[in-house]
Amino acid sequence: MTPKRPPEAVPHGLLIVVVALTLVVLGLGAVTVALQLRPERAPATAAERDIAIWKARLDENPSAWAHTGLGLAYLDAGDETAATEAFHDALELNPNDWMALFQLGLLVKDTDPDTAVDYLSRSGDAAPRSQGVAPLVALGDLLLARGDAAGAKAAFERAISDYPFDFSSHFGLGQALEQLGDVAGALEQYQRAADFNPDSEEALDAIERLGGSPTTTEGP
């Protein structure tokens, strides 16, 4: 019976080569994983970082508020097209997302004022207490610009009802009342506006134009 020969030892040099090749393969694999985990290009600006953050949140939870946050980040970056798409995505999930409605109203007010009026009015209805003032003032300003003083008056009155301590609401209501011929009512609202911003030249000029003085008024 022929005795079994012991297995030949792997030459030391070959072992080193095999180990080296194995490490290279493992190293390449690690690099591949690292590249997959690392973004292709790190965000260069704060706006780009915000966009990346909101996209990550959308991956975790595709909610309406995350789409709205992404839209606001796009606006900050100057990308109105992407912002508009994000706000529409938000409304698909929540038709009463007041911030998405508000921003869409602002985005289309120059190109599609009728749609802007609808967005801003819905935003004012859906906004939490004391936050509806912004879309309602924007609505009033838009209606004034379109020559609808009566509609603007209603919008500014809604804004004041929501938050009575805002300069723009009272000043806008003063403008609407003046256009409607209510000089006394307009003067009162201009004076209210001056209470909240005593340095406003436009409020002081309006008061002087109507023959009044910037005296402090009482009540909201």
Q: What is the CATH number of the domain that holds 195?
A: 1.25.40.10
**Is 145 within a domain?**
yes
Residues 118 and 55 in one domain: no
Average pLDDT for 190-198:
96
Residues 76 and 158 in one domain: no
- pLDDT category, 42, cuts 50, 70, 90? low
pLDDT at 118 over 60: yes
Residues 141 and 175 in one domain: yes
**Residue where a domain terminates, one of 71, 95, 119:** 95
Q: What percent of the chain has pLDDT over 70?
A: 77
pLDDT at 4 over 70: no
- Residue 17's pLDDT is 35
Average pLDDT for 21-31:
33
- Residue 86's pLDDT is 98
**Is 19 within a domain?**
no
Residues 100 and 90 in one domain: no
pLDDT at 220 over 60: no
Residues 72 and 141 in one domain: no
**Is 139 within a domain?**
yes
- Residue 14's pLDDT is 32
**Is 159 within a domain?**
yes
Q: Which residue has the higher pLDDT, 47 or 105?
A: 105
Q: Total structural domains in the chain?
A: 2
pLDDT at 136 over 60: yes
Residues 58 and 134 in one domain: no
Residues 78 and 132 in one domain: no
**Is 208 within a domain?**
yes
Residues 79 and 158 in one domain: no
Residues 188 and 110 in one domain: yes
Residue range(s) defining the domain that contains residue 82 = 45-95
pTM for the complete prediction? 0.75
- CB pairs under 8 A, 24+ apart, for 163-170? 163/130, 163/132, 163/133, 164/220, 165/196, 165/220, 166/133, 166/137, 166/196, 167/193, 167/196, 167/197, 167/200, 167/203, 168/137, 168/193, 169/133, 169/136, 169/137, 169/140, 170/196
**Is 111 within a domain?**
yes
- Residue 212's pLDDT is 86
